[in-house]
Amino acid sequence: MSTPVIEIGGLSYHYPDGTVALEDVDLHIHQGERVALLGPNGAGKTTLILHMNGIYLPQTGTVAVSGYPVTDDNLVDIRRRVGIVFQDPDDQLFMPTVREDVGFGPANLGLTGTDLDDRVNQALAAVEVSDLADRPPNHLSYGQKRRVAIAGVMAMQPEILVLDEPTSNLDPASRKDLTVILDSLEVTQLIVTHDLLYALEVCERSVIIDAGRIVADGTTLDVLGDPELLAEHRLGLPAGLRIDDVATP
């Protein structure tokens, strides 16, 4: 099997106050996979994804991206390979125009002129926001901001795209648009979500983390089809809905 895009072994991380955020986590994600990362609030999801591009460094264990260890020496290369789209797009949009926002990362890598323009235009087209290029981000709808934030990350041409709660605050139409866009992106994806129906809709594989430990890893159909597992880890489908009633990927 090919080298995993993300390879985590024995990862543990404790906060300065002694709180256990992650404990002996093992996780492999391979090229082309789309994986849902599920878990209750405080389970360790955010801490885990912040290890994937070196915002946090392992205290115990290892994290590697396409074979490159996540260490201080490799951070520039790691952050080119792993792009994180945070839950609130306003945390990522800060330039006067959409075009400048999407071009910020590539420009910092040294791209200029037509090379930069081409990279930005490709990213805007990929998420269907080319018509917004000259608009101020603060004038956009929430769904549009979410797509622009994704464009900004895709402009860096990452190997893996990590999306933190991508459906939060989206209306049904915007949620559907997002699904179409994610389907069109040829990049490995890790989707952190509380939306189990969305995980079932777009991810063939799901991982549950709770109290800093991986407690389940399998097909989304199998994971979400285990009501006792979901209840034990404070997860659940909408009341009255059975897994058999929902379309699978």
Mean pLDDT, each 10-residue run in order, the chain (249 residues): 89 94 97 96 95 95 96 93 93 94 93 95 95 95 94 95 93 90 94 93 96 97 94 82 57
Nearest Cα to Cα of residue 74 among 83, 85, 84, 63: 63
Q: Which residues contact 209 (CB under 8 A, 6 or more apart)?
A: 25, 37, 38, 39, 43, 44, 45, 48, 215
Instruction: Give residue 241's pLDDT.
Output: 63
* Gyration radius of the chain over CA positions: 18
Round to whole Å and give the CA distance between 126 and 153. 11
pTM as predicted: 0.92
Q: Which helix (H) or strand (E) holds 7?
A: strand 6-14
**195 token code pair:** 């939306």
Instruction: Give residue 185's pLDDT.
Output: 92
- Where are the domains positioned within the chain? 6-87+160-245
- Over the chain, what is the mean pLDDT? 92
Per residue in 155-181, pLDDT (tens digit) is 999 999 999 999 998 889 989 999 999
CATH (residue range 6-87+160-245): 3.40.50.300
Per residue in 75-92, pLDDT (tens digit) is 999 999 999 999 999 989
Instruction: Give residue 237's pLDDT.
Output: 78
